[in-house]
Structure 1
Amino acid sequence: MEKDKILKIIGKRIKQVRESKGFSQLELVGKMLGDIDPTNISRIESGRTNPTIYTLYRIAEALEVSLEELVSIEISN
Protein backbone atom coordinates (compact mmCIF):
# COMPACT_ATOMS: atom_id res chain seq x y z
CA MET A 1 0.00 0.00 0.00
CA GLU A 2 1.25 3.48 -0.85
CA LYS A 3 2.36 5.87 1.87
CA ASP A 4 -0.08 8.58 0.69
CA LYS A 5 -3.01 6.17 0.85
CA ILE A 6 -2.07 5.05 4.39
CA LEU A 7 -1.80 8.66 5.59
CA LYS A 8 -5.22 9.49 4.10
CA ILE A 9 -6.84 6.43 5.73
CA ILE A 10 -5.40 7.27 9.15
CA GLY A 11 -6.25 10.97 8.78
CA LYS A 12 -9.82 10.16 7.81
CA ARG A 13 -10.19 7.87 10.81
CA ILE A 14 -8.85 10.54 13.18
CA LYS A 15 -11.33 13.04 11.75
CA GLN A 16 -14.23 10.58 12.07
CA VAL A 17 -13.41 9.80 15.70
CA ARG A 18 -12.89 13.48 16.53
CA GLU A 19 -16.20 14.46 14.98
CA SER A 20 -18.03 11.55 16.62
CA LYS A 21 -16.83 12.91 19.97
CA GLY A 22 -18.06 16.38 19.02
CA PHE A 23 -14.63 18.04 19.12
CA SER A 24 -13.37 20.75 16.81
CA GLN A 25 -9.75 20.58 15.72
CA LEU A 26 -8.97 23.37 18.18
CA GLU A 27 -10.65 21.47 21.02
CA LEU A 28 -8.58 18.39 20.15
CA VAL A 29 -5.40 20.46 20.37
CA GLY A 30 -6.57 21.73 23.78
CA LYS A 31 -7.13 18.17 25.00
CA MET A 32 -3.60 17.35 23.83
CA LEU A 33 -2.39 20.08 26.22
CA GLY A 34 -0.78 22.15 23.50
CA ASP A 35 2.63 21.48 22.00
CA ILE A 36 1.03 20.98 18.59
CA ASP A 37 0.06 23.59 16.05
CA PRO A 38 -3.68 23.49 15.33
CA THR A 39 -2.95 23.58 11.59
CA ASN A 40 -0.99 20.35 12.02
CA ILE A 41 -4.23 18.53 12.97
CA SER A 42 -5.72 19.69 9.68
CA ARG A 43 -2.67 18.40 7.78
CA ILE A 44 -2.83 15.04 9.61
CA GLU A 45 -6.55 14.62 8.95
CA SER A 46 -6.14 15.37 5.26
CA GLY A 47 -3.17 13.01 4.92
CA ARG A 48 -0.77 15.81 3.97
CA THR A 49 1.74 15.08 6.73
CA ASN A 50 3.25 12.00 8.31
CA PRO A 51 2.69 12.28 12.09
CA THR A 52 5.09 10.69 14.52
CA ILE A 53 4.00 7.71 16.57
CA TYR A 54 4.12 9.95 19.63
CA THR A 55 1.76 12.47 18.00
CA LEU A 56 -0.64 9.67 17.05
CA TYR A 57 -0.44 8.39 20.64
CA ARG A 58 -1.28 11.86 21.98
CA ILE A 59 -4.22 12.17 19.58
CA ALA A 60 -5.51 8.75 20.67
CA GLU A 61 -5.19 9.72 24.34
CA ALA A 62 -7.01 13.02 23.76
CA LEU A 63 -9.80 11.21 21.89
CA GLU A 64 -9.93 8.47 24.55
CA VAL A 65 -9.43 5.65 22.05
CA SER A 66 -6.63 3.15 21.59
CA LEU A 67 -3.75 3.93 19.27
CA GLU A 68 -4.62 0.70 17.49
CA GLU A 69 -8.11 2.03 16.72
CA LEU A 70 -6.58 5.01 14.94
CA VAL A 71 -3.93 3.20 12.92
CA SER A 72 -5.38 -0.26 12.25
CA ILE A 73 -5.32 -0.82 8.49
CA GLU A 74 -6.59 -3.87 6.65
CA ILE A 75 -3.72 -5.22 4.57
CA SER A 76 -4.71 -7.30 1.57
CA ASN A 77 -2.45 -8.95 -0.94
Structure 2
Amino acid sequence: MHQPEDDAWLNDHARVLGDRIRTERSRRKLTQEQLHLNAGISRDVLQRIEAGRHNPTFFTLLRIARVLDVPLADLVR
Protein backbone atom coordinates (compact mmCIF):
# COMPACT_ATOMS: atom_id res chain seq x y z
CA MET A 1 0.00 0.00 0.00
CA HIS A 2 1.30 3.41 -0.93
CA GLN A 3 1.77 5.77 2.00
CA PRO A 4 1.21 9.52 1.58
CA GLU A 5 4.39 11.54 1.73
CA ASP A 6 3.00 13.89 4.36
CA ASP A 7 0.26 14.05 6.95
CA ALA A 8 -1.96 16.53 5.11
CA TRP A 9 -4.57 13.80 4.64
CA LEU A 10 -4.83 13.52 8.45
CA ASN A 11 -5.57 17.23 8.70
CA ASP A 12 -8.21 16.87 5.99
CA HIS A 13 -9.92 14.08 7.94
CA ALA A 14 -9.78 16.12 11.16
CA ARG A 15 -11.55 19.01 9.41
CA VAL A 16 -14.22 16.68 8.01
CA LEU A 17 -14.77 15.17 11.46
CA GLY A 18 -15.12 18.64 12.98
CA ASP A 19 -17.57 19.65 10.27
CA ARG A 20 -19.71 16.56 10.90
CA ILE A 21 -19.80 17.19 14.65
CA ARG A 22 -20.65 20.88 14.20
CA THR A 23 -23.33 20.07 11.62
CA GLU A 24 -24.95 17.44 13.84
CA ARG A 25 -24.76 19.74 16.88
CA SER A 26 -26.45 22.52 14.92
CA ARG A 27 -29.07 20.14 13.55
CA ARG A 28 -29.92 19.19 17.12
CA LYS A 29 -29.99 22.88 18.07
CA LEU A 30 -27.28 22.42 20.72
CA THR A 31 -24.76 25.09 21.62
CA GLN A 32 -21.10 24.28 22.12
CA GLU A 33 -21.73 24.96 25.80
CA GLN A 34 -24.48 22.34 25.98
CA LEU A 35 -22.48 19.75 24.07
CA HIS A 36 -19.25 20.15 26.01
CA LEU A 37 -21.03 20.08 29.37
CA ASN A 38 -23.15 17.04 28.53
CA ALA A 39 -20.18 15.20 27.00
CA GLY A 40 -17.93 15.97 29.96
CA ILE A 41 -15.21 17.58 27.88
CA SER A 42 -13.76 21.07 27.97
CA ARG A 43 -15.15 23.74 25.71
CA ASP A 44 -11.65 24.42 24.40
CA VAL A 45 -11.31 20.79 23.31
CA LEU A 46 -14.70 20.86 21.58
CA GLN A 47 -13.84 24.09 19.79
CA ARG A 48 -10.54 22.64 18.56
CA ILE A 49 -12.23 19.41 17.43
CA GLU A 50 -14.87 21.32 15.48
CA ALA A 51 -12.13 23.46 13.92
CA GLY A 52 -10.19 20.35 12.89
CA ARG A 53 -7.22 21.26 15.07
CA HIS A 54 -7.42 18.50 17.68
CA ASN A 55 -6.87 14.76 17.67
CA PRO A 56 -9.66 13.56 19.97
CA THR A 57 -9.41 10.33 21.88
CA PHE A 58 -11.73 7.45 21.14
CA PHE A 59 -13.50 8.04 24.46
CA THR A 60 -14.02 11.73 23.66
CA LEU A 61 -15.59 10.82 20.32
CA LEU A 62 -17.83 8.27 22.04
CA ARG A 63 -18.99 10.90 24.52
CA ILE A 64 -19.78 13.36 21.74
CA ALA A 65 -21.62 10.74 19.68
CA ARG A 66 -23.68 9.73 22.70
CA VAL A 67 -24.79 13.30 23.42
CA LEU A 68 -25.58 13.86 19.74
CA ASP A 69 -27.43 10.52 19.72
CA VAL A 70 -25.65 9.32 16.58
CA PRO A 71 -23.55 6.24 15.96
CA LEU A 72 -19.84 7.00 16.19
CA ALA A 73 -19.46 5.58 12.69
CA ASP A 74 -21.60 8.41 11.33
CA LEU A 75 -19.07 10.94 12.61
CA VAL A 76 -15.89 9.20 11.53
CA ARG A 77 -16.89 7.57 8.23
Normalised to the residue count of structure 1, the TM-score between the two structures is 0.86
Unaligned runs of 5+ in 2: 1-7
Amino acid of the residue matched to residue 37 of structure 1?
Answer: S
Which of 50, 55, 59 pairs up with 2:60? 55
Alpha-carbon RMSD across the aligned residues, in angstroms, is: 1.1
Which amino acid is the alignment partner of residue 67 of structure 2? A
What TM-score, normalized to structure 2? 0.86
Structure 1: which 5+ runs fail to align?
A: 73-77
Mapped pair 1:24 → 2:31: yes
Report the structure number with the largest CA radius of gyration. Answer: 2
Are 1:4 and 2:15 matched, yes or no?
no
Give % identity.
Answer: 37
Runs of 4+ in 1 over 3 A off after TM superposition: none
Q: Quick one: distance in 2 between partners of 1:30 and 1:45?
A: 15
